[in-house]
Structure 1
Amino acid sequence: MKLKDLRFLFNKKNFGYVLLIRTLVLFIIFDFVLFSIFGLFLLYLIDNQQKTVLSHLKTSFEIKAENLYSEYLFKEIGVSQQGFIKEEIKYAKKLKLIEECKRLSQSIPGIDFIILEENFSKTYISEILKKFYNYNYFKFEPLKIKILFGFTKKYTYKVLFKYLILFVYILSTLNIGFIYFLIKSYWDFRKPFENLIKNLKMGKKLSLTGYYEIDALVNAVNKALRKEKELFEKEKRLQQEMAVRDKMIALGTMAGGYAHEFNNLLHMILGSLELAELYIKRGKEKETEKYFSQIKQITLKGQELAKRLLYLTRTTHTEKTNLSKFLENLKSFTRVFVPREINVYYHIEPNLIVSLSEEGVKEIFINLLKNAIDAIENKKDAIEKKIFIRAYKKDEKVIFEIEDTGTGMTEEVKARIFDPFFTTKPVKEGTGLGMYLVYNIVNSAKGSIEINTILNKGTTIRIYLPLVSEKVEEKKSIEKEISLIEDKKSKALKILVVDDELIIRDTIKEFLDIQGYKVESAENGKTALEKLYKNGYDVCFLDMYMPDLTGKEVLQEIISKGKVTTKFILITGYGGEMEKILDEYLKQGILFKVLRKPFSLSEIQKVLKEILQTN
């Protein structure tokens, strides 16, 4: 078959017709074969019964039986197949033979006999023969006898009809499959190209067969499809490997940046401590106050840096911030941070309270502002260099947005802007974590982000946060927060401090001792359980991760024993997968508070005040 013939087959109409004709031809051939088999079966049925009669007569009367044959006479009188006996026979045996033929004609349905001899007065003639012929018509040799028998047409038609009904039933059952295939073939291949394309898109194997050329085409397509699938899977694996490699490179860059920041902090702490130690040795204790104050400020910076890292994972925000006041306070920072050629415009409504910490708000603000500055600076020959910072209320939502007149974004960049480690900046200039960090912070506060951007015109990033009606408590000075509690009730609190780190455990214990509390400590979870069961405590500061028994396991053991009476404050540097469980424990009242390392001693004092107020 040539290519043009193949094209003819794949014509929208012709291909379906070709399949239709082919199926019909097969259908007719199949039915013809079945009809032939059925006819032969009926002939066998009649012939076998006639042979049985001949065999019986031959055995009983010792006469010769000739082969079956057809004769014009018996066709006319309605006998379809005849048995023929021609034999000289004695009169006595002839009478018995006639009687036996009568008996057989009565016992075998549909069969009849004709017995003829020279003297017609002694001849047995069946009722069928009498209806059609006169006696004088027959002339046979003397002393000879003929016995002819066969099935009547009426009986033959009756048997034929009975078996025909059975045959039609069987044939129709078999033909259901042919009819189904016929309809399906025509329906599926009315539009072969459309069906082939549909199957290819769905990744299904093609099942078109019938012509060698079509089979070859289908096999080639299936082979190409398998190869394409293998190549796709291979490409997907390579992309995943490259993505992992890129993430590791970006993670290394980020780790290097944070390591640099922490090294700076450690260097400042070490330098301040060495200078303080030097002044103490020289007896100048007053000079050390400055360095201890510096160490405290450096530690707070480290605390903020650690919180930034934790924002990259799931975190909950229970703090509240007055966004309006916070943004007003950042105006001076913005003037220094933004280049002079870029104009910044503000629209900030008062008293916008959001469920975010100040560190979280600051992280969002700095990342969005930095991106806006970069977008404007990357726009060549920019006439307008403007940034708009807005914060306002709408439908019980606080909307915080930053708009710029920079380069804008393509749809591809917009779709991936929140992917971790995705960046459009050159190598070593960005880690791709800024917007991912913003997304995590907003998401944890049950907010959402909207991006409107036009290429070469600018971008507006709009953040929706739930409006909080509660007032934000003004932070007191550290000196006031760590003031001693002289109340007798506070000194009566019995406290257990549990941490596997000796310095952390002793620092908290010593601070509480100074405050006048009754304090005991435990170096692991097992010891803590023994003391809790034996002594009973009002408050327990419990570390999350410890050898033997973790803080979670200690809590589970306490819960299993019954009602929890001790106020548990969990202390941890990183919750990780435990964050959801911690949230549940806080809601159920199993945990009173979660303190995240590093925390100041003043935060411990604040928690104890809350416990006293609760009691």
Structure 2
Amino acid sequence: MMPLSRRARVLVSIAGVSLLAMVLLYAFPATAQRTVVLISDLSRTWAAAFAAYTCFASSRRPTTSEQRRTWRWIGAGCASFFAGQLLWNYYAMVRGTPPPYPSPADVGFLGVYACLIVGVIMLVRGQPTRRGDPELFLDAALVTFAVGALAYEYLVAPLRSGAAPVSLLGLLTSIGWSIGAVAVLWMILIQMLHRPAFPAATAALLLPSVIAFTVGNQVYAVVALRGTYRAGGPLDLTWDAGLLLIAAAAAIAPDYALHLQRGRSTGPETSTAARFVALVVGLAAMTGMAIIAMLQPSPRPDAAVIIGVGMAIVAARVLYSLGVSRRYAQILEEEVANQTRSLMSSLGATASAERNLRLLMEAVPDAITVVDRNGYLLDENTAGRTFVNAFPADPGAGGKRAAFAWLEGTASRIVRENLAAAFDGELRRFEVPFQRPDGSEGTSHVLLAPVREAGRIPKVLALVRDITDQRRAQTQLQQAEKLAALGQLVSGVAHEINNPAAIISGFAQTLLLDQLAPEQRETVQMMYDEATRIGRITSNLLAFARAGSKERTLVELNEIVRRTYALRSYHLTTLNITVNLDLDDANPRAWANGSEVQQMLLNLLINAEQALTTMSGRRAITIRTAIAGEEGVWLQVADTGPGIPADIQEKIFDPFFTTKPEGAGTGLGLSICYGIAHDHGGRISVHSVPGQGATFTIALPRDARTRQRTMPPPAPVPAEARKPDGKLSVLLIDDEEGLRRAVVNYLKRRGMHIIAVEDGGDALRVLRREHFDVIVSDVRMPGMSGGEFLERLRREYPAMVNRLIFTTGDTFAADTSTLLRDSGVPSLVKPYDFSKLETVVREVAESAKTST
């Protein structure tokens, strides 16, 4: 039932009560004719006024402008009828006589139909029209002919047969009364026929009132023209009923339109109903005229012609409809056949897609299962069956199998919790331990994805992957990374130990050349043996590490910062981390290995990034470079993270120390940074206040070749060349002052002339003024390395190349081993036996003499 607003219920009730009261008054009229006439006039006055008020009030409520304009025009028509009735009342009540026919009151009465026609036109304005076709033409012709035939039958024919003279103005007025309401009905039907979609809500409510007007007007047109109209009769009730029905329609129309909008998606209706009504109107009109013609005493040729033409139109309309129906049936059959073929094709494609999907599921090595809310299996692939079928079905669940029965204990509980979250709409990823089919312990990665159907989640897709081998490989990789980092540390430590061990060994061997007491000789011999043992240990460590320092040059810190930031800029942006580059305009440079400095900076950036991702709020990293005095530069990385607790700040540079969960880090990042900084002759420090971030500062020498060492002053280089004395002359090049002194003391005790310098450049300057039988040079030295010295020697003193001996503390470093292999120069590994050094020196000197 359509709900009505309170306002609509009140107005409809007033209209109903008014109509009921009028029916009773007309059914039981007063005895005095004047009283009857007065009651009739007042009833029409009240009905017209109430209808006008209701129409204007309802025009404010509809939501569309067309409906508002329609009800305003209908209200204007009711107001016109009200004005005509007031004129009628003037004649009847004031002047005491009925108004003449026609009178000005008839103009007001007839104005209601003009306004109704304009209202219908306003209602359909902007609606699309149908394309013209024979069916539309026949429907319009049938309705028009039926309306015209009725007007002729009930107006023109009686006038032709009457004997009373009729004035032209009276005839026109009667025609207006006769066709007024019929014209409104005709307009509604014609507009419905011409529109593929028609707002029938308003038109349907108007039809009862228009029909009431049509019946009354046809009778009134004839009796008024003949002068036989008497006020207060049943004819007046048709106008009262028509006006009150308009009032009720206006009260109901806004709620009726909203009811149609809620009840169906399309408010407008098609013209199918209008075509049916047109056919019914034509048949009813022709049938009525035929019945009247048969009841008359003498046949009328004009009625027979009208009925014949009307039935011909009806027959043409029916025949055309039958033909259209046959064509439509044929088209429908063809469409059904096409749709059937399309459906079969779609079913085949669906079956093929389902088969392909099943093949894909079976080809996936991971377990794919579909489970319901209780965790029971709905579907699975082959890999899934290896898990599920290993356990029997649940008898209490109708033979269903539990999808996760292969999990036990904590793993089963984790799956249940995540399954409940998945049915709440969350995508869940997690790992659980399980027992593999071969009985070994394994780890599986589980993904639970909710499957949505019509807004519900009736099932969940579960993907299970055995990642045992992957986790094992990751563990091995982490161990390999730790070992690689350990090897780098070992390599640096072993190389640094070799030089002091060589010094201790050299001085011990020099002391053994003297006449010592047995106890002293035993002590010195033990010193020599232990130094030799240190050499063997470091040699084994270097063999394990197989790494060494890389070549160094002057590098621009600003450029390294920009390159390193470019590697991480996009990733840092995705984490909402702001990076500020505060680079010194002086473009600081350091004597360093560029790749190692970049690795050090990258490790610090990653550490800051990982610290910032554990907190909310502002996330920022600042990278600074600056010149620190005359001999150094520094690089600084500061973050706004949670900071480092004071109790662990002293441990953060220790190897394998980490605050991350197990497996999340190796604990070698800052240890590697410490090793690189120390290997470059620099230092790294941290300043942090918990809750205020951390700042790491790396200080590097601007040129390591100018670094001052805390060791005894070097032995003076003779300003002039020595005089030939027959002794074997040796030029020693080594950056370790202690080792130089030990070798010089030993070889001098063995009767050789020796000059020691700390750099290849100094050696070249000495060679310009003095000739040497043998040159002993270290490979890795600050400034000019052994390889560079060899190249200069080949260019400037090619005859001295075959007199060169290399010494090194790390033969496993890539650059060192390549140099020794390609140069073909004899070499000794630190800490070397000084007696062996003497032997090699004499052999090289003798070989050089022989070759010359």
Question: After TM superposition, is the score higher than 0.5?
Answer: no
TM-score interval w.r.t. the shorter chain?
A: 0.3 to 0.5
**Larger radius of gyration between Structure 1 and Structure 2:** 2
TM-score (structure 1 length as normaliser)? 0.34
